[in-house]
């Protein structure tokens, strides 16, 4: 199966490995990227023969010339919707990075494109495909807990520096951390409860990653390079953490909140709360949720590889231990890759369809609006 890639960035460079390791006949046939030579060098490092891949600087040219079984989009987020619309005009299977759009205009474009296309779109939402979520979904759907009437979800991110050291710090590109991070978790909550969100409120804070350092300051040019807790020097040599960029995290031009929370009302009247934080580190990492029904509660955490079921009317707690925390996206990427392959083969439907990607992005946009206005926002298209 020949695939074409539009925007060969870090995420798709990584995800292509998940496709190839399945050994199911996927071949990277063509790549369109604003820096074709960089894309070529990354693919050569994987052991691919560059002369068997066609490289383009323009996505339209690639789509016009190539005969493809599927297309993957990994551009910067501001181009996701526009590029997806081009692919959907050709009715090709599409793997689309999240967020699917960063403005209301993007989401309107995607809805229109989808209404006129037969493309099966797999949105890059690996969390809903993880063994952990599949287990929790099975428990919820069994009815043992009763109807889920309250959800408490959390994401304490242990690698939060990436959002202040690298390109993510530019909100003109990233459009904030609800869209960049919460879009995953909100989609997962929607999937687990199986309900339509109708209202959202939000609050965000920036208490840590702020400061008065000059704009455009690089860590290596700062006199505090050897002492700043966020410098690549300290991170790599003393904290054994991965270095994700060298822009000053305490500059006047550092964007993004460093903690944020949303409150969601669903169509039945039940509500959920989700909170994310970007300065937690090491064993303080948390990512998961507690879902509460009248008959019982299920709680899970991807980092701890554990789910627990507490029965309310019996002296019984069940503990499930998994072994997926160290797998890419907790095991979700492999499932996502296999689903895209089966979609290209015509054997499966998308497990993370475009409609869900649009819903999640809409929730994030409304959360940003709610945080700015201090007002509840309705999740609809009016």
Is 321 a member of any domain? yes
Q: CA 376, 254, 184, 373: dihedral to nearest 10 degrees?
A: 10
Residue with tokens 């995607």: 110
Segment 77-96 shows an average pLDDT of: 98
229 in any annotated domain? no
Q: Which domain holds residue 280?
A: 128-218+250-328+362-378
Q: How large is the average pLDDT for residues 18-24?
A: 94
Q: For residues 7 and 30, is the Cβ–Cβ distance under 8 A? A: no
How does pLDDT run across 216-227, given as a tens digit for each residue? 999 999 999 999
Residue 312 lies in a domain: yes
pLDDT the model gives residue 382: 59
pLDDT for residue 363: 98
Task: Report pLDDT digits (tens) over 36-72.
Answer: 999 999 999 988 888 899 999 999 999 999 999 999 9
265 plus 145 within the same structural domain: yes
This prediction has a pTM of: 0.95
Virtual torsion, Cα 352, 355, 361, 365, nearest 10 deg: -160
Q: What pLDDT score does 98 carry?
A: 96
**Residue 226 belongs to a domain:** no
Pairing of the two strands 70-73 and 197-205: unpaired
Q: Does residue 163 sit in the same domain as residue 194?
A: yes
201 domain-assigned: yes
Residues 133 and 165 grouped into a single domain: yes
Task: Kindly report the average pLDDT of the chain as a whole number.
Answer: 96
The answer on 154 and 268 residing in a single domain is: yes
Determine the pLDDT at residue 95.
98
What six digits make up the tokens of 91? 């009715």
Q: Verify that 118 and 166 share a domain, yes or no.
A: no
Residues 51 and 139 grouped into a single domain:
no
Looking up residue 156, the CATH number of its domain turns out to be 3.30.360.10
Tell me whether residue 318 is in a domain: yes
pLDDT of residue 10: 87
CATH number of the structural domain spanning residue 45: 3.40.50.720
In a domain, 243, yes or no: no
Residues 137 and 93 placed together within one structural domain of the fold: no
Task: Indicate if 200 and 132 belong to the same structural domain.
Answer: yes
Q: Domain count for the chain, please give it.
A: 2
pLDDT, tens digit, 9 for 90 and up, residues 151-209: 999 999 999 999 999 999 999 999 999 999 999 999 999 999 999 999 999 999 999 99
Q: Residue 193: what pLDDT?
A: 98
Examine the domain organization and report whether 120 and 156 are in the same domain.
no
Q: Return the pLDDT at 12.
A: 94
Say what the pLDDT of residue 35 is: 93
From residue 128, how far is each of 132, 201, 248, 330, 343 by CA, in Å? 9, 23, 34, 10, 17
Question: What's the chain's length in residues?
Answer: 382
Could you tell me what percent of the chain has a pLDDT over 90? 93
- pLDDT at residue 244, rounded to an integer: 85
- Predicted pLDDT of residue 243: 84
- 142 and 284 fall within a common domain: yes
pLDDT at 328: 86
Kindly tell me if the per-residue pLDDT of 86 is higher than 90: yes
Query: How far is residue 115 from each of residues 67, 89, 130, 201, measured CA to CA in Å?
Result: 23, 10, 29, 30
Identify whether residues 266 and 150 lie together within a single domain: yes
pLDDT band at residue 292 using 50, 70 and 90 as cut-offs: very high
Structural domain contains residue 212 = yes
Looking at the chain, the whole-number percentage of residues with pLDDT higher than 70 is 100
Residues 338 and 272 in one domain: no
């Amino acid at each position: 199966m020949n695939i074409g890639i539009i925007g060969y960035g870090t995420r798709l460079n990584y995800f292509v490995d998940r496709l190839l390791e399945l050994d199911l006949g996927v071949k990277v046939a063509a790549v369109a990227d604003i820096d074709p030579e960089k894309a070529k060098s990354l693919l050569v490092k994987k052991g691919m023969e560059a002369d068997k891949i066609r490289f383009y600087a323009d996505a339209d040219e690639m789509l016009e010339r190539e005969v493809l079984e599927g297309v993957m989009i990994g551009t910067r987020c501001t181009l996701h919707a526009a590029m997806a619309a081009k692919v959907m005009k050709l009715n090709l299977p599409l793997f689309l990075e999240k967020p699917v759009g960063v403005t209301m205009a993007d989401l309107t474009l995607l809805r229109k494109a989808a209404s006129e296309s037969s493309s099966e779109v797999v949105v890059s939402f690996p969390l809903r495909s993880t063994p952990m979520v599949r287990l929790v979904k099975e428990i919820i759907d069994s009815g043992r807990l009763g109807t889920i009437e309250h959800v408490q979800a959390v994401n304490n991110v242990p690698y939060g520096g990436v959002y202040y050291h690298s390109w993510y710090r530019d909100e003109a590109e990233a459009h904030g951390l609800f869209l960049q991070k919460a879009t995953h978790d909100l989609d997962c909550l929607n999937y687990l409860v199986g309900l339509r969100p109708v209202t959202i409120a939000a609050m965000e804070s920036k208490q840590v990653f702020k400061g008065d350092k000059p704009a455009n300051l690089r860590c290596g040019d700062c006199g505090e390079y050897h002492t700043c807790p966020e410098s690549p020097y300290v991170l790599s040599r003393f904290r054994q953490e991965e270095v994700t960029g060298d822009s000053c995290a305490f500059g006047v031009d550092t964007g993004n909140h460093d903690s944020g929370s949303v409150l969601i009302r669903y169509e039945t009247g039940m509500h959920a709360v989700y909170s994310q934080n970007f300065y937690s580190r090491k064993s303080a990492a948390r990512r998961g949720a507690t879902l509460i029904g009248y008959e019982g509660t299920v709680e899970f955490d991807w980092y701890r590889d554990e789910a627990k079921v507490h029965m309310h009317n019996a002296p019984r707690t069940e503990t499930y231990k998994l072994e997926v925390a160290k797998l890419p996206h907790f095991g979700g990427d492999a499932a996502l890759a296999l689903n895209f392959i089966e979609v290209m083969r015509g054997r499966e439907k998308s497990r993370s369809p475009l409609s869900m990607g649009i819903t999640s992005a809409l929730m994030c946009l409304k959360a940003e609006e709610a945080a700015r206005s201090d007002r509840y926002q309705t999740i609809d298209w009016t």
